[in-house]
Amino acid sequence: MLISASISKYKGGLRHQLEPPLSLAIKREIGAQAATSFDLSNACAGMLTGVFVLNDWIRRGVIRCGMVVSGEYISSLDLNAARQIRSILSKQLASLTLGDAGVAAILERAPDGNPGITFAGFTTLAEHSRLCLGIPAKIGPGAAMFTKARTIHRVAIEDSPPLLADALEETGLRLADVDYLIPHQTSVRAIRKGAREFAARLGMAPKSFVENVAERGNTASTTHFVALYEYLEARRFKPGDEILLLSLASGLEVGVVIFRMDELVDHYGHAH
């Protein structure tokens, strides 16, 4: 199975393609014509939603192996916003944090008893769906994004700790047992404020709170995997580490994926 989970579905520059699905073109290019394929769009939670779907179908025996892929080309939002922003209160200010990235992740059934995904779940808080909107740009090619940034950060910080606590309880873990918590990379200030709020609300903190937005920007649905790749290349992880991926996406979508690192660490970082 192949799932394309990007927000931006550009082909040949700035032509946004919905039909035929981008996943169809991808599987043809990589020689996986026999794979079932479809596009999935869930804002910045797209990649992790794809992981959620694949994890469920693999566990139920529907498929043996799947790939979820996303390529975000969203720098046009930066350029369009820069032409229009006149105040720090502009609803386009959040667009200036965006960056382009592409990632692919392969999931397959692990032997019984091996570490793997222990939890994957999502909650939609639809009453906040209009806090971030994307529309065709009135100037320049591509799109424009309008975000009530302070409100969406406040809502995310208020509503995500209980959902995070439920996910941890499901796995029998405490937040202090998590070796690396990787949140969606929105802004340095928002990430650090969220870390303090989680510690205060849950009475403990993870061993490490990953932050790479200053170097990579907010790369939308690919942020968690860009951070994972960087830490794998730097040999920061070790087998047995508990990794928690926290998705906070427009909609408002809150997603949690928890997994235990395995021998995957041996495939990265050899250049160092």
Taking CA atoms, 187 is separated from 10, 96, 139, 190, 223, in Å, by 25, 10, 26, 5, 12
> pLDDT-based confidence at 196, cuts 50/70/90?
very high
Per the rule left: phi > 0, alpha: psi between -120 and 50, beta: everything else, 43 is left
Q: Mapping DSSP to helix (H, G, I), strand (E, B) and coil, where does residue 4 land? A: strand
> pLDDT-based confidence at 272, cuts 50/70/90?
low
Which value, to the nearest 10 degrees, does the dihedral of the CA atoms of residues 189, 195, 200, 204 take? -160
Q: Where is average pLDDT lowest: 7-11, 79-83, 185-189?
A: 7-11
d(CA 58, CA 201): 34
pLDDT value at 258 more than 90: yes
Q: Mapping DSSP to helix (H, G, I), strand (E, B) and coil, where does residue 172 land? A: coil
pTM across the whole model: 0.92
Of residues 189 and 39, more confidence is placed in 39
CATH architecture of 117-132+146-267: 3-Layer(aba) Sandwich (3.40)
- State residue 16's pLDDT score: 78
- State residue 88's pLDDT score: 86
d(CA 23, CA 6): 10
- 181 touches 244 (CB < 8 A): yes
Mean pLDDT of the chain: 91
- State residue 271's pLDDT score: 64
pLDDT value at 12 more than 90: no
pLDDT value at 251 more than 90: no
- State residue 143's pLDDT score: 85
In the chain, what are the helix, strand and coil shares in percent, each to the nearest 5? 40, 25, 35
Q: Do you know the residue count of the chain? A: 272
Tokens representing 176 are 């202090």
Tokens representing 135 are 């529309």
Domain boundaries, the chain: 117-132+146-267
Determine the average pLDDT of the residues in 152-173: 90
Burial 159-181, CB ≥16 within 10 A → b, else e:
bbbebbeebbeebebebeebbbb
Residue entry with tokens 């990007």? 6
pLDDT tens-digit readout, 19-64: 889 999 999 999 999 999 999 999 999 999 999 999 999 999 999 9
